[in-house]
Amino acid sequence: MEHKDESKLCIVIVPGTKKVRRITIEPWLPKALLCSIALFSLLLYLSYNWISASISRFQEEYENKTHIARNLEKEISTLEKISLDKDREISNLMATADEVEEKIDETDLLLKDIEGLQKQLEKKAGITMASRSSMLSRNAALRNLEPEESIGNLKGVLDEKEEELKNFIAEIDNRFKYLESIPNGWPASGRLTSRFGKRRDPLGRGTGFHKGIDIANSPGTDVRAAGAGVVTFAGSRSGYGRTVEIKHNSEHTTLYAHNSKLLVKPGERVQRGQVIAKMGSTGRSTGCHLHFEVHKHGNPINPLKMLNR
Ligand SMILES: [Zn+2]
């Protein structure tokens, strides 16, 4: 190595056999090189830190996003389920609405039939019931309501109708009971021998008031209740002989006199046409006959005006 200039460095390369090579470099170059390496290392270090921080930030963000996405997916599937349920509910409601409308139609027809029958029965039984006009119009208005409301209202209409029919049946029943109780059935077969009203006394002198009619027939002929009712007397009575008395309703009572035998007891309920005694001639009587009286509000009336012809 040879030193011509102190300020310069000289590197000599000896390859062995061939010519020796010499490289001369500036003395600041190694320092600059070291500084560059240090600077580069620093930059590299900073870059690495920044990149790794970024990566972890991205990773965190990615995880957050994934989490959110997963939640969203869950929410979407829940919403989809709800939507399916709603669809099902709507189709169920539509089916219910159809059913309700059908039921309303059926009920309408039934109510019309029932009202027709009611009117006929009212006419036949001679009774009048409270107006029912609101029923059908209320029912017709059901169509405009929601199915649940319609069902509730339909139930209301039907309950009301049921109540009304119960009252109607009770009224008809009362009417039939009253009709059954009217004493208009002939109490015995035979010959009409004496009428109601003033007449000559058959057993004495002068005139008297005949409070009933007399029907004559052979002894033991059936004596029947003229209408349904309750026996209020069955026994012997002065002048009348063996007698039965029946209370039919709040206005009518009947009396059957001169019987040979009584077949009912006080308190017994009897039907129209039921045999209650046997014809005889007990009491103040001229021969075997039935003396029959009808009383209205306690006063004797002409039985022939009551009896069926
Ligand atoms: Zn008489």
- CA 49 vs CA 44, 55, 98: distances in Å: 9, 10, 72
Protein residues within 5 Å, CB atom, of ion ligand 1: 214, 291
- The full set of domain ranges for the chain reads 9-69, 83-181, 191-305
Pick the CATH number of 191-305 from 3.40.50.1110, 2.70.70.10, 3.40.50.20, 3.30.1490.190: 2.70.70.10
pLDDT tens-digit profile of 125-172? 777 776 555 555 555 666 666 767 777 777 787 788 788 888 888 888
Model pLDDT, residue 108: 79
- What's the CA-to-centroid distance between 173 and ligand 1, angstroms? 35
pLDDT reading at 213 higher than 70: yes
- What's the CA-to-centroid distance between 284 and ligand 1, angstroms? 9
- What's the CA-to-centroid distance between 260 and ligand 1, angstroms? 15
pLDDT tens-digit profile of 89-117? 988 888 877 887 787 788 778 878 888 88
- What's the CA-to-centroid distance between 195 and ligand 1, angstroms? 8
Model pLDDT, residue 68: 92
